Amino acid sequence: MSASLSIAFIGTGVMGRSMAGHLQKAGHTLHVHNRTAGKASALLDAGAKWHESAGAAAAEADVVITMLGFPTDVEQSYLGAGGIVERARPGALLIDMTTSSPVLARTIADAAAKRGLASLDAPVSGGDLGAREARLVIMVGGETAAFARAKPLFEIMGKNIALLGGPGAGQYCKMANQIAVAVGMVSWVEALAYAKKAGLDPAAVHASISGGAAGSWAMTNLAPRALGDNYAPGFYVKHILKDMRIALESAAELKLDLPGLAGAKKLYDQVAARGWEDCGTQALYRLYASL
């Protein structure tokens, strides 16, 4: 790829705006669209061009990157009338970095190929902090040639970048990641809820156990937020619920039973039922504190 590209970035929310910002600072020209225009204001102030739809932005770009909320958003943006696949430039590279359905990823790849477009599914892990610090894990599915074109851009946004297989493989890998994340969230929440119930200072317990075998990224980064009553989203409850639904549906297709994941989803359903679906995933601790 050339040093400077015209990039359409669709979805400038909690993570997307940081990811797009890194590309912009690297010298690439941005064409942006987001459902809420105000969330793109910093990028626009720095010179990005606003477009009224994903398709309109795609029509101006060499590369299209999407970072959206739900598979329905992805499907509409790519496959809807006047969408990305229909309006993208000949030879453009399409990269969906949303956590979405492996089946949908393959459908988009097929539709893109029919128009002579390259496509990748490239979901990420690392949350808002990883996006801000350009340390995202990027899990990629697609053809080797498309991956080679995209890798210089991925290296601007992340550190651990891997091609896992053909179309859909990135999403399968992300589902494996989300299974571990969701079940792991239950582990540290229950550990600290237990410590508090036993009369211990959960912050002191956290300091004692987080660096050992019980440690994890979530224990290190999210538990302190929860213990400080900070439930601001790095990753939304509504999005982890979406990911768990996708993973459970995919597991059913594979004829695999995942009782740990099913249990975690039931707990997060309770979190959402209390009106906390726009909180960060650490709000699971809030549920235990309220019981």
Q: What SS3 class is residue 230?
A: coil
Query: What whole-number distance in Å separates Cα of residue 252 and Cα of residue 77?
Result: 27
Q: Is 174 designated active site?
A: yes
Q: In 3-state terms, what secondary structure has residue 10?
A: strand
According to DSSP, residue 89 is labeled P
Instruction: For residues 5 and 63, give the distance between their C-alpha atoms in angstroms, rounded to a whole number.
Output: 8
Measured distance CA(32)–CA(56) in Å, rounded? 9
**Spatial separation of the C-alpha atoms in residues 123 and 14, rounded to whole Å:** 15
What are the backbone dihedrals phi and psi of residue 243, each rounded to the nearest 5 degrees, phi first? -65, -40
Backbone phi, psi, residue 164, to 5°:
-95, -15
Q: Write down the catalytic residue from 151, 174, 265, 266.
A: 174
Catalytic residues, which ones? 174
